[in-house]
Amino acid sequence: MMSWHSVLEPFRTIGFADVLDMAVVAALAYVVLLWFERARAAFVARGVLIVAMVYVIARQSGMHLTTWVFQGFFAIILIALVVIFQEELRSFFERVAVWSLRRRSSHPLQPKQVETLVRTIGQFAHERIGALIVLQGSDPLERHIEGGYDLDGKLSAPLLESLFDPHSEGHDGAVIIEGDRVVRFGAHLPLSKEFYRLSGMGTRHTAALGLAERTDALCIVVSEEKGAMSVAYRGELMAMDNLMLLERHLTEFLRERRPSAGRRWQWQPLLRQNAAEKVIAVVISLALWLTFVQGIKPATHAFDVPVDPQGLSEDLQLSGVEPARVRVTVTGLQRDFRLLDPASLRALLRLEAAQEGSQRILVSAEGLHLPLSLRLVSIEPSSVAVTLARAPDKDFNPFELITGRKAPKDRERP
């Protein structure tokens, strides 16, 4: 059975570069897990994790055939994932590319303009005027938007009313707002494929959810048939029962886009958010480091192994062994030592040819039973002092030595 010492041994030589290495991999794993969740492919992520765990166990256990089969399987599943999730992967890498270049409008939306926007949307809902308004976040929208007319107008109620007037050229399309400017109107957005969530809803809701699934934009929808208000954000479509709820979502969205300089940073909500995904990401990073980094490092370990005498003749008995333990030095890859139980190691003493008296016997490595991936370096000392004495005669009787005749046998009882 493995001891805590052997379990903790890989972490004794951990350095700053290893910690940074694991942190980067954990961050990437966390992003990928969130992407799987938002791409509605959590079941795919679970399947990949299970297969990866089986592969790691097989690799660590020295199951070469299983490892080879799984390596080929991973190549196939990687191609399948790229084909199935090509649109999601494209969006993911696009977000990674613009992450360090987050654009902030030089003229952000002001609280008074938020009130104007909420009041105008409320008027549209009251008059049952269909509308689709997009507030751009940090992600670029050009790749997802088709058609429409470019416009560079300051956000105002009269401008929105004219753009969504039923007699307007692009009233059926979406209005794109960047900062405090209306940059396009009459635009066509990508449609969502989550049909089970869009039952009874129109094309505006489908388009709003489609863009919210692909970008971090916030989409506001006003139903032309019912006058209901909805907000699509981060792949979710939420009904707005009143204007106060709508204003709260808009304010929170703008706060995320433009954090207040005077607001105190709080780390506790950051830790609680997506806690399960963060723990899984750390475990994945640690397992990968132990398997592919720490596991392939060459290592040399020494063990104090007891001497095990074997093959002693029946007419001899062992009087002493000095020393009773020898030091065995083994080399190999760090991961291969996890399969070794030091408590099971024995150094054999072959005593078949031994004679009575004191002598030195070479220590045999046959009892070590090392895995094929580990190599024996040395056994110190290579021989031990053994003292053998003549074993007492089993038929010896002190009565015969004193009287000179054999001891009488017990009479058999009738």
Q: 235 — alpha (psi -120 to 50), left (phi > 0) or beta?
A: left
CA distance 203 to 225: 12
Burial classification of residue 21, based on how many CB atoms lie within 10 Å of its CB (0-12 exposed, 13-18 middle, 19 or more buried): middle
**SS3 call for 414:** coil
Contact 307, 379 (CB under 8 A): no
CA distance 294 to 7: 13
In the chain, residues under CATH classification 2.170.120.30 are 298-390
The structure's pTM equals 0.54
- Residue 310 sits at φ, ψ, to 5 deg, of -140, 150
pLDDT in tens, the chain (414 residues): 445 555 555 566 677 887 888 888 888 888 777 766 665 566 666 777 787 778 777 776 667 778 778 777 777 877 877 777 776 677 667 666 665 555 544 566 777 888 999 999 999 999 999 999 999 988 888 888 898 899 988 999 999 999 998 888 888 899 999 988 899 999 999 998 877 778 778 899 999 999 998 888 999 999 988 889 999 998 889 999 899 999 999 988 888 776 554 444 455 555 566 777 788 888 888 877 776 776 677 888 899 999 999 888 888 888 888 999 999 999 988 777 767 788 888 888 888 888 888 899 899 888 888 877 788 999 999 999 999 888 776 555 554 545 555 555 554 444
* Confidence (pLDDT) at 400: 55
* Confidence (pLDDT) at 12: 67
In the chain, residues under CATH classification 3.40.1700.10 are 111-257
- Is 111-257 a CATH 3.40.1700.10 domain? yes
CA distance 203 to 208: 8
CATH assignment of 298-390?
2.170.120.30
